[in-house]
């Protein structure tokens, strides 16, 4: 075997290891997808779409601005093949928080974020608000990151 062929074979073997690792659930992600967690039994709004790749590449969001570990610590350098958990594995209740009844104590932020949609809204909307504020300050124009219901949920409420 020539040196060139040897390097080729080694590279192919190494690359197929990575490819195999990526095939396991939770380690790959589509460039763009509808946020439609299957755990929801009912849905009130048309589903939001996340341009995952664009958020990373164009909007320069770090993995750790959305993904974190069981202590909420940002996962900034997720490696190829690593299992990335779905938000609902920890923010477990598939809905928004229930309406507060009279006399009931207010939920803490953490209790509120046990509801999946609250955790997602906190994540998506907080960053969008901060971004738009920065754009406004720097350019005087309105930023384009969506913060209103119908901008994320196209068509708003399901009729
Ligand atoms: C803007 C927020 C955001 C950023 C930035 C981001 N992700 Fe994600 N990612 C998500 C959301 C939301 C999901 C869908 C999770 C769900 O359905 O619960 C997801 C899903 C994934 C999944 C699939 C998980 C599964 O079980 O299906 C992988 C893998 C992943 N992301 C890796 C990464 C890596 C690596 C980076 C950094 C290069 C990154 N993400 C950056 C928000 C983000
Ligand atoms: C392994 C468990 C786990 C996973 C998976 C997970 N979270 Fe969390 N998350 C936590 C914990 C623990 C905290 C800290 C308690 C709290 O503030 O709610 C937290 C906090 C948060 C916060 C508040 C952070 C802050 O700085 O104020 C947001 C927003 C959030 N998670 C959204 C998400 C989103 C979106 C996903 C999926 C892309 C996700 N989480 C996946 C466990 C998890
Ligand atoms: C770390 C910051 C950050 C987080 C977190 C984030 N976004 Fe964004 N998002 C942006 C920025 C920046 C833009 C681009 C605004 C522009 O076009 O200039 C954007 C734009 C968008 C747009 C309109 C353009 C497009 O690419 O579709 C949608 C829809 C959107 N985000 C959905 C979401 C959803 C859903 C989540 C939560 C799962 C989320 N984003 C979380 C930063 C963020
Ligand atoms: C930045 C984008 C964004 C904005 C703005 C936003 N949402 Fe959401 N919303 C989401 C995402 C992402 C989910 C999680 C859906 C999933 O994973 O299945 C969600 C989930 C929900 C759910 C639970 C699923 C359902 O359809 O019953 C409701 C209700 C909801 N949002 C209502 C609202 C309302 C009302 C507003 C305005 C006050 C709003 N959202 C603004 C992104 C957004």
Q: What is the pLDDT of residue 12?
A: 54
Model confidence at 3, pLDDT cuts 50, 70, 90, reads low
Nearest CA to ligand 2 atom 15: 110
Q: What is the pLDDT of residue 80?
A: 81
Of residues 149 and 9, the one with the higher pLDDT is 149
pLDDT over 80 at 125, yes or no: yes
pLDDT over 50 at 21, yes or no: no
Pocket flag, ligand 1, residue 127 (CB < 6 Å)? no
Nearest CA to ligand 1 atom 18: 86
Tell the residue number behind the tokens 């959305």, with chain if given. 66
Pocket flag, ligand 3, residue 107 (CB < 6 Å)? no
Please check whether residue 93 is in contact with residue 110, taking contact to mean a CB–CB distance below 8 angstroms: no
Distance between Cα 46 and ligand 4 center (Å):
8
Mean pLDDT of 113-133: 98
Nearest CA to ligand 2 atom 1: 70
Please check whether residue 58 is in contact with residue 131, taking contact to mean a CB–CB distance below 8 angstroms: no
Mean pLDDT of 131-159: 96
Q: What is the pLDDT of residue 6?
A: 57
Q: Which residues contact residue 89 at a Cβ distance below 8 angstroms, ignoring those fewer than 6 apart? A: none
Q: What is the pLDDT of residue 79?
A: 84
> Which residues lie with the beta carbon below 6 Å from any ligand 2 atom?
66-72, 85, 87, 89-91, 109-110, 113, 119-120, 122-123
Query: Which phi and psi (to 5°) does residue 74 adopt?
Result: -55, 135
Can you tell me the distance from the alpha carbon of 86 to that of 153, in angstroms, rounded to the nearest whole number? 20
Nearest atom within ligand 2 for CA of residue 89: 5
The chain-wide mean pLDDT, for the chain, equals 89
Residue 13 CA, chain-centre distance (Å), reads 32
Distance between Cα 34 and ligand 1 center (Å):
12
Of residues 15 and 91, the one with the higher pLDDT is 91
Q: What is the pLDDT of residues 32-91, one digit of tens each?
A: 999 999 999 999 999 999 999 999 999 999 999 999 999 999 999 898 888 999 999 999
Q: What is the pLDDT of residue 13?
A: 52
Q: What is the pLDDT of residue 139?
A: 97
Pairing outcome for strands 49-50 and 33-34? antiparallel
């Amino acid at each position: 075997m020539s040196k060139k062929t040897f390097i080729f074979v080694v590279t192919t073997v190494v690359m197929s290891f990575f490819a195999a690792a990526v095939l396991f659930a939770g380690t790959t992600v589509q460039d763009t997808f509808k946020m439609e967690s299957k755990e929801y039994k009912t849905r009130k709004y048309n589903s939001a779409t996340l341009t995952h790749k664009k958020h990373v590449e164009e909007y320069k969001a770090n993995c750790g601005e959305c993904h974190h570990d069981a202590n909420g610590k940002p996962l900034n350098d997720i490696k190829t093949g690593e299992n990335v958990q779905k938000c609902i594995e920890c923010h477990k209740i598939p809905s928004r928080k229930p309406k507060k009844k009279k006399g009931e104590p207010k939920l803490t932020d953490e209790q509120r974020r046990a509801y999946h949609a609250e955790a997602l809204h906190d994540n998506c909307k907080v960053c969008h608000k901060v971004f738009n504020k920065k754009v406004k300050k720097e350019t005087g124009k309105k930023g384009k990151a969506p913060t209103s219901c119908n901008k994320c949920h196209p068509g708003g409420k399901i009729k």
